[in-house]
Amino acid sequence: MCAASKSIPPAPMPMRILVVDDDLHQLRSVKRYLNAAGLSVITCNSSAEAVLALQGIQIDAVLTDIQMPEESGLTLIRWMDEHLPNVPVFAMTAFGSDEIYQDVLQNGAVVYLEKPVDLKLLVQLLATTKDTCRHANCFVTACLEAASTRGTGEVVTHSQNQIGQIFYYEGKIAWAAIQNNSTSFMDELLVGSKLEKDDLVSLIRDCKRENLEFFFELTKRNMVQENMLVKIIHRYIAQCFLQCLQWDNAKSMYIPNTRPYQGRILFDLVDILTLANTTQKFIFRRARQSANM
């Protein structure tokens, strides 16, 4: 052996992916594509077979179909959540619905893909998962997956009876929403812009009737300056982020889709996280000051 060869580092091990699907044609197609992308793939035809396999091998990620004849893929996702919570699970289905993706989210999956699966996007998501060394239910990392893959879709995070949604367009954040939020965006807009509520209600009615873009019309009609509107939206999205970050035992999932976006105001993830972190420090500082009074 030549001396120089001792300094050559070993080649990195490829990611090992377990793919579970009762459709053998789909299984072969996914395996062929992932192998070509340099990933190591193990395949199973059912949730039961996958559970047995997982007890004897180490795996970096799992991709499972949901609708299977014997046991639903949810059975496998629940087993993973209990026994291998740090291994990310990607769920795929040809029969998507709000009920299915909420079931998948609550049981521990981190990405929800509708068939036919975009295999190029899948490889990007798997690579991001490896690079971030994620915990399976990490909200921030799910957001990183959407941003780093220039994804269009949403990150949904769930904790008890609370649900938050962060909407992405080509890797940038377009909007955020919290179900049953005590403060609405309209409240923030009224406070930040000094507009009258009746004027906003009238504009919303016009936008719905004529299919107009609300934020564009706000500035077009000189109801609020664009730089002020951007600040208000930025602050509201950051507040939604902050709420999601503070939820205990939250589970998060990225859902790619092709939802169109007509707006012009988009934010980088790092800007939202920076403002959310600043807001959090401000809240804690105010709380300490109040406690000392």
Domains and CATH numbers, the chain: 14-136 (3.40.50.2300), 137-288 (no CATH)
pLDDT exceeds cutoff 90 at 202: yes
What is the pLDDT, as a whole number, of residue 126?
Answer: 84
The pLDDT assigned to 193 comes to 83
Which pLDDT does position 130 carry in this prediction? 64
Whole-number Å distance between alpha carbons of 262 and 233: 16
Question: In whole numbers, what is the pLDDT of the chain averaged over residues?
Answer: 83
- 37: its two tokens: 């992308």
* Banded pLDDT at 283 (limits 50, 70, 90): very low
- Residue 145: exposed, middle, or buried by beta-carbon count in 10 A (0-12, 13-18, 19+)? buried
Report residue 195 as tokens. Answer: 């507009």
Strands, E assignment, 8-140: 16-20, 40-44, 61-65, 89-93, 111-114
pTM above 0.85, yes or no: no
Q: How many CA atoms lie within 13 A of 163 on its CB side?
A: 13
Average pLDDT of the residues in 90-100: 82
CA 130 to each of CA 123, 125, 292: distance values in angstroms, whole numbers, following the listed order: 11, 9, 45
Sheet bearing 153-159, strands edge to edge = 40-44, 16-20, 61-65, 89-93, 111-114, 251-256, 153-159, 162-169, 172-178
Q: What's the pLDDT score for residue 66?
A: 94
Q: 92: pLDDT confidence band, cut at 50, 70 and 90?
A: very high
pLDDT at 133: 44
The enclosing H or E element of 176 equals strand 172-178
pLDDT interval class at 177 (50, 70, 90)? very high
- In the chain, what are the helix, strand and coil shares in percent, each to the nearest 5? 50, 20, 35
Instruction: Output 99 or 151, whichever has higher pLDDT.
Output: 151
Amino acid code (one letter) for 45? N
Distance CA 155, CA 148 (A): 13
Using pLDDT thresholds of 50, 70 and 90, give the confidence band for residue 134. very low
Is the pLDDT confidence value at 110 over 90?
no
Dihedral angle at the C-alpha atoms of 57, 62, 67, 70, nearest 10 degrees?
10
Q: Which residue has better confidence, 45 or 128?
A: 45
Name the token pair of 118: 């975009």
